[in-house]
Amino acid sequence: MNLDATRTVRDIAVEHPNATRLFEKLGIDYCCGGGKSLADACSAARLSTDDVLKSLAEAVAPAADASADWAQGELADLAHHIVNKHHNYVRNELPRLDQLMAKVASVHGQRHPELLDMQNDLRGLGQELMTHMMKEEHILFPYIAEMEATVRSGRRVRPPMFGTVKNPVQMMIMEHDAAGDSLRRMREASDGFTAPADACISFQTLYRALLEFEADLHQHIHLENNILFPRAIEMEAASQ
């Protein structure tokens, strides 16, 4: 088990999928900000590096680490998993969040004006994610699956219309960063999605739902930024 505070958070998350649960709990960014060393990430989160390493060792113990090893599997299978689990979750959850936010903001917005800013961020995030997922499902993911099948058959990979897979990947990562920024603004405005003392059931439900949405999006972005995209770039380069 290779756990070292000098390794990046991203590398640890890729090698040990169960580590993402602990990172989520501790507020350590393993998707968009996963390029930091674990020591730097702990320092930024004001956490003891030794304590985090100890917790990581427990979280990624062989008996507990039953997550799929996407770092080794078929890229097409990983893309299919992302669509079925994460894209479908976003499509199903966004309308619910939008309705909850509208209800809560209309009732509590005067006493909690941060809700109005959060509502704008949520709507913008939803529009961006819907367009983003369409581009992945109709352009990038099909190309990755076709490229993988071509490489495995020993044939030459055809040049894509976008020149190289690096180009759409770079765009997707930029859009991931923008989505992460929207969620961070909502988190900061809501004190970490902590419902205030006067929150009704709908208010509490909204913040719980936003926490769940945030956790799913972090895992979603992690699978793409840290596993699918780097492996696709590496495969394309090796096929040249």
Looking at residue 1, its pLDDT comes to 52
- Report the C-alpha gap between 20 and 60 in whole angstroms: 10
Q: Is 81 exposed, middle or buried (0-12, 13-18, 19+ CB in 10 A)?
A: middle
- Report the C-alpha gap between 182 and 217 in whole angstroms: 12
DSSP class of residue 31 equals S
Q: Pick from 66, 214, 52, 239: which is nearest to 156 by CA?
A: 239
Looking at residue 68, its pLDDT comes to 59
The pTM assigned to this predicted structure is: 0.79
Looking at residue 64, its pLDDT comes to 43
* Identity of the amino acid at 77: D
Looking at residue 178, its pLDDT comes to 96
Q: Pick from 142, 137, 168, 164: which is nearest to 239 by CA?
A: 164
Q: Match 């352009």 to its residue by tokens.
A: 139
Looking at residue 81, its pLDDT comes to 94
First to last CA, the chain: 34
Query: What is the CB-side half-sphere exposure of residue 68 using CA atoms within 13 A?
Result: 11
Looking at residue 63, its pLDDT comes to 46
Looking at residue 154, its pLDDT comes to 85
Looking at residue 66, its pLDDT comes to 43
Q: Is 192 left (phi over 0), alpha (psi -120 to 50) or beta?
A: left
Residue ranges of the chain whose pLDDT lies below 70: 1, 62-68
Query: Rounded to 5 degrees, what are φ and ψ at 170?
Result: -60, -40
Looking at residue 14, its pLDDT comes to 84
| β-strand partners of 8 | 37
Q: Pick from 234, 215, 213, 222: which is nearest to 25 by CA?
A: 215
Looking at residue 31, its pLDDT comes to 81
26, 68 contact by CB (below 8 A): no
